[in-house]
Amino acid sequence: MTRPFLEKIAADNRELVQALLDENERLERALANAQTELETRNRDFAERYLEVEQQNTNLANLYVASYQLNGTLDRERVVAAVREIVINLIGSEELAIWELDDQLDALSLIGSFGINQSEWAGVPLGSGVVGMVAHTGERFVAAEALVQPFGREETLTACIPLKLDDRVIGAIGIFRLLQQKQGLEPVDFELFDLRGSHAASALFCTREIS
């Protein structure tokens, strides 16, 4: 009777060891899953934190841009503020700012950076992308366009109408972006809307004063 008894004990021990091994494996899987979930939550938290930080930065940029455009009645400072917004917030050092001359039925260059001024001194209303933006009041974004601009407008990234209500008084042309700027971002379109209205208002007011 001793042998069967010992065999039973050995079998029970094997079952116990196997049960312990199975439980250990289960706990290891549970721990791995918990670590993965924790890492996922930490990553999501970090991404959300960066999103909130970016939103705060965007709001601050929008506030600064609005203040720059509306904080002065000096025409040259308004033009300089629009230029700085494009360079520092949008990320382009090739830009043009035009004002609509109703008598000439054309856009006249009033500010620029990094472009050939004589080449862009005047743009007839309805001519090319820039002229059509001023004519229709609809902004142009190369990344959204079915037909890309050509000729002197080949490097045009975006063109934003400057409007007072439904009246176009000018336009901003943004050409090549900075090398580190991969493309336009959502906040850039918010800045487009801001500049389109506030810049128009600021330029109109300074024109009336001058």
pLDDT the model gives residue 191: 74
For residue 185, what pLDDT is reported?
83
For position 156, what pLDDT does the model report?
95
The span from the CA of 50 to the CA of 108, in Å, is: 42
As given in the structure block, the two tokens for residue 134 are 């001023």
**DSSP code for 103:** T
Asked if residue 199 and residue 170 are part of one domain, the reply reads: yes
Phi and psi for 148 in degrees, rounded to 5?
-85, 150
Residue 167: count other Cβ atoms within 10 Å of its Cβ: 12
Q: Which domain holds residue 57?
A: 1-70
**pLDDT score, position 1:** 53
pLDDT of the residue at 204: 78
Cα-Cα-Cα-Cα torsion 17, 18, 21, 27, nearest 10 degrees, comes to -120
- Whether 162 and 196 have beta carbons less than 8 Å apart is answered as yes
pLDDT given for residue 62 in this prediction: 65
Tens digit of pLDDT per residue, the chain (210 long)?
Answer: 566 766 777 677 778 778 878 888 888 888 888 888 888 888 888 888 887 787 677 667 667 766 766 666 778 888 888 888 888 778 898 999 999 998 889 999 999 999 999 999 999 999 999 999 999 999 999 988 888 889 999 999 999 999 888 889 999 999 999 888 888 887 788 777 766 777 777 777 777 555
In the listed set 34, 49, 70, which residue is the last one of a domain according to the structure? Answer: 70
pTM for the whole thing? Answer: 0.68
How much is the pLDDT for 123? 95
- How many angstroms from the chain centroid is the CA of residue 124? 30
Query: Is 152 found in the same domain as 121?
Result: yes
Rounded to whole angstroms, what are the CA distances from 175 to 40, 96, 152, 190?
A: 40, 8, 10, 18
The pLDDT of residue 115: 94
Q: Which of 169, 199, 205, 202 is nearest to 85 (CA)?
A: 199
Number of domains in the chain: 2
Per-residue pLDDT at 85 = 82
Q: Which of 70, 86, 114 is the last residue of a domain?
A: 70
Question: For 12-48, what is the HEC assignment?
Answer: HHHHHHHHHHHHHHHHHHHHHHHHHHHHHHHHHHHHH
Q: Are residues 61 and 83 in the same domain?
A: no
Residue pair 198/66 in contact (Cβ under 8 Å)? The answer is: yes
The Cα 195–Cα 140 span in angstroms is: 14
- Same-domain check for residues 33 and 100: no
Name the residue with tokens 């209205």: 197
Asked if 116 and 179 sit in the same domain, the reply is yes
